[in-house]
Every structure is written in structure tokens, then in C-alpha cells.
Amino acid sequence: MINLDQIKQEVTESYDWATSIFRYLHQHPELSFEEHETSKFIANTLRKIGITDITSVAGTGLLAAIEGSKEGKSIGLRADIDALPIQEETNLPYASANSGCMHACGHDMHTAVLLSAAKVLWKNRHNIEGTIYLLFQPGEEMFPGGASKVLESGILDSKGIEAFAALHVSPEIETGKVGIRPGMYMASGDEIHIEVKGKGGHAALPHTLDDTVLAASSIVVNLQQLVSRIGDTRIPTVLSIGKFIANGATNIIPSTVKLEGTFRTMNEEWRAKAHQRITEVIESTAKAYHTEAIVDIKKGYPCLINNPQITSKARATFIENLGIENVIDLDIRMTTEDFGFISNRYPSVFFRLGVGGVEGSSGMLHNGKFIANEKALKTGTFALITLAKSLLE
């Protein structure tokens, strides 16, 4: 079996190498499903390590395998590889060289950690019983999500994978610590697109037209009752309208108003029912103002569920190897993550890696001034390897 004291030493010895990997990835970000050069870099890095069992998946993704010396369980470790359409404002020496594109969500750290873990695990493959699959997944940041594409490809169906693990950086957590939570952890996420149509006209003559702006405004207000008065108050739910376009003027009521928003919850049964009720509220409200509403709800990522059994095992593993003071019990999050597709198919554990404590960082993801603490590479690599060991046992 894997000797964790030896692993810890090898992780430390590989830190400079892992840092160079992380900095390269950070400097060369690519948007969702456009990660062509990133994919090539990952494949070349894997080959240099010695891993040659590499298969393309979901366009720009990769699935690699590390086979142990003896037969055993098969598990999967996943990292997402895409960046965001954000202009970097950090002034780092390794800041993004691709204008308007930045690893502002830490996927460069996720990928570097998995590559670092792969290097150490490959070196210790003779002490591994089973097979470890490394999934470098594209398109987490863009609907319909790269994880869904990976599953649709069928590439995982014959692998006999019994458990999956993944991580995500968290600037709210101090570097050196990890966070974990069993059960429902992250929300589902759906997009709501609404078009309110009617007879536009002169704003000074409201009796001669259909007030699409008033109708749309009432829709925004009435939708909030879906959460506060129709939904089960015990189920975390968020419905927010973030875009309202009424392209009229001071004296013009437009014939069309467009709205866009998000619906998030942590119960799949309520999610399906809510879609129907959202449509009913929108259409009935529009009708009350003699307008018409066209509703399009795009179903996005499902809830992310951490399997209670393996999550409990992971937590115990982290406490044993990182120290109880470095393991945080997380609260639920209403943000979404396409790893939810995988966690709904395979028993999974998704944990947070602390990257906080960097001077000059915004301390926020999806922000042009976000900086991940490179020291987290050690913690992330060691945590992922210890987790892999526990899942194989």
C-alpha cells in the first residue's frame, strides 16, 4: 500500500514543478470548450510523467489512467480546465497572456493539483491496488457543462468506477485547510428567459397600448412569491432576475421587454414542479396586463450531492493526515457546479481547498483581482492523494 510519509515528502519535492505547471496554466487560459492548447499541454505533461494511457473526451477533455500493480477498485479524480471571460487585473508576473480571458475560478489550480498528484501516484503505482482514472474536464463554466458531455460520450461506462472525487479552490478558506460537507452541498441551476410582448406606443397615451414594462415589472415581483409563498420553506431556493431590457425611451413603451434570471434549489422534485409554476406565474401575470409572455427555462446543472459514506471516510482521512484543525465543516452553497452530473451518477465527494491569505487578492472568485495562494498546491496534492488512497481501500 501507499506510504503516506513517503508521499508527503515527494509532494514537497515536487512543489517547484507543480508551481511551474500552475503558472503556465494561469498564464495561458482558454475559454470553455476552446481549451485546445491546454489539452495539449496536459497530455504532454502526462506523457513526460510516464502516463501514456490517455484518451480524448468531450472535444478538449482528457481521460488518463494509472493502473496499480494489483487488481482492485477503480476510482476517478476530476479537474476542470476552462477559464472565464474576465480581464485579469492582478499584475502578477505570470498574469494571463490572453486578453479578456482569466483563470478567475481556480481551474488552473485544480488542474495543477491533479497533475501533481498524478506525478506522485505514477511514481508509486507499484504500491497501488486498483486503477485511478484522471479526468481533465472541459467546459465547466458553460452550459450544458463538460461533465454532461463526458457522461454522454459513454467513455466511463466500462471502467467500473466505484467512486469519484474532485476539489474546488476557496479564497474564503485559509491556505493549508480543506472544507467538506456530506449530502446536499451545491444547488441546481437553471436559466429563465422571458419575452413579454404587446402593443407598444406613446408613453403619454397608456390607454392606447399594452404596457409591457409594467407587465414585466409585475412578473419580477410576482415571481418572488414563488419562493416565499409557494415553495417549501425548508428547501433552500433562490429565484433572481438579473437582466431587464425595456428598450423604449422617456416617451415610448416598447412592444417587447426581455427578462433573464436564474432559479436554484436543492430538491429535484421541487425543481421540476417549480419550472411549471414559474411558467404559470409569468404567463398569467402577462395576461392580466393584456400582454403575452414567451417563457424558456433552460435546465442546467443538477444538485451536487456528496455521498455520505465516502464523504465521512474522506473527512476522517483529512483529519488524520492534515490535522483536525485544518478540516472545516462547510455550509450549503447556492452556487452551481457541473460535477453535480457526476455525483448523481457515481458515489462522489467534492471538497474545498483553501487558497486564501494572498496580499492584493480580491478574495473572490470570478473577479479580475483573484489570486490563489500557490502554497495550496502542496495541501491540495497531498489531500487528493490521501483521498484516492482511502477510496481504493
For residues 260 and 321, state if they share a domain. Answer: no
What would the mean pLDDT of 207-221 be, rounded to a whole number? Answer: 98
For residues 157 and 204, state if they share a domain. Answer: no
Which pLDDT tens digit goes with each residue over 52-98?
A: 999 999 999 999 999 999 999 999 999 999 999 999 999 999 999 99
348 touches 164 (CB < 8 A): yes
Which pLDDT tens digit goes with each residue over 244-276?
A: 999 999 999 999 999 999 999 999 999 999 999
Q: What is the pLDDT of residue 3?
A: 86
CATH code for position 242: 3.30.70.360
Q: Is a pLDDT exceeding 80 seen at residue 319?
A: yes
375 touches 175 (CB < 8 A): yes
Domain membership of residue 230 as a residue range:
190-298
To the nearest 10°, report the CA torsion of 389, 378, 303, 86: -150
Name 207's Cβ contacts closer than 8 Å, sequence gap at least 6: none
354 touches 175 (CB < 8 A): yes
Count of structural domains, the chain? 2
For residues 217 and 179, state if they share a domain. Answer: no
pTM of the model: 0.94
Residue with the bigger pLDDT between 229 and 63: it is 63
For residues 313 and 293, state if they share a domain. Answer: no
Of the pLDDT bands very low, low, confident and very high (cuts 50, 70, 90), residue 2 is confident
Q: Domain ends where: 251, 266, 298?
A: 298
For residues 151 and 197, state if they share a domain. Answer: no
Q: What is the pLDDT of residue 76?
A: 98
DSSP state of 266: S
For residues 316 and 388, state if they share a domain. Answer: yes
For residues 12 and 138, state if they share a domain. Answer: yes
127 touches 1 (CB < 8 A): yes
Name 213's Cβ contacts closer than 8 Å, sequence gap at least 6: 246, 248, 253, 254, 257
What would the mean pLDDT of 139-150 be, rounded to a whole number? Answer: 96
Cell reading at 168: 474546488
Residues in the chain: 393
For residues 49 and 113, state if they share a domain. Answer: yes
For residues 141 and 201, state if they share a domain. Answer: no
Cell reading at 28: 495561458
Q: Domain ends where: 298, 314, 329?
A: 298
CATH code for position 367: 3.40.630.10
Q: Domain ends where: 266, 298, 330?
A: 298
Annotate 315-378 with DSSP letters as a single string: HHHHHHHH-GGGEEEPPPBSS--THHHHHTTS-EEEEEEEEE--TT--S-SSSTT----TTHHH
Q: Which amino acid is at 362?
A: S
Annotate 85-125 with DSSP letters as a single string: S-------TT--SSTT-B--SSHHHHHHHHHHHHHHHHHTG
For residues 67 and 160, state if they share a domain. Answer: yes
Q: What is the pLDDT of residue 191?
A: 97
* End-to-end Cα distance, the chain: 9
For residues 352 and 203, state if they share a domain. Answer: no
Q: What is the pLDDT of residue 87?
A: 98
